[in-house]
Amino acid sequence: MYATLREYEGIKDPAQATQPLLDGLLAEMQALPGFIAYYFVDVGEAGDRMISLSVFESSEAAEESNRVAAGWVARWLAEHPQSAPTTSRVDAGPVMASATA
């Protein structure tokens, strides 16, 4: 497995930021070969940050998800320049351990 963690800043309204994901990006991610999971987490207690975690079967699939996500963010920024979050950091690597319920 391979995971990508993206950090987003400038999010004033987490619910408003989440809706476009539900309306578009999640379906694009799910359609990619090797998709396992996607999470969008509000970590903004001390500010205006959220993180996303996407998990794929291979590094190639995760790299494709990064291209999809970058394209989606670029489109969102072009359409909503005042309210769109900005990606401040992207980290990726192999999953070394995991557990599920």
Q: Evaluate whether residue 101 is within a structural domain.
A: no
Taking the C-alpha atoms of residue 84 and residue 78, their distance in angstroms, rounded to an integer, is 9
Q: Does residue 100 form part of some domain?
A: no
> What CATH number should be reported for the domain holding residue 75?
3.30.70.100
What pLDDT shows up at residue 13?
A: 76
DSSP 37-63: EEEEEE-GGGSS-EEEEEEESSHHHHH
> What is the pTM (predicted TM-score) of this model?
0.80
Q: What is the mean pLDDT of each run of 10 residues along the chain (101 residues)?
A: 89 76 85 93 79 93 88 77 71 93 90
Q: Can you give the pLDDT at residue 32?
A: 92
pLDDT for 22 equals 77
The domain total for the chain is 1
99: in domain: no
Residue 57 lies in domain: 2-94
Q: Is residue 23 situated within a structural domain?
A: yes
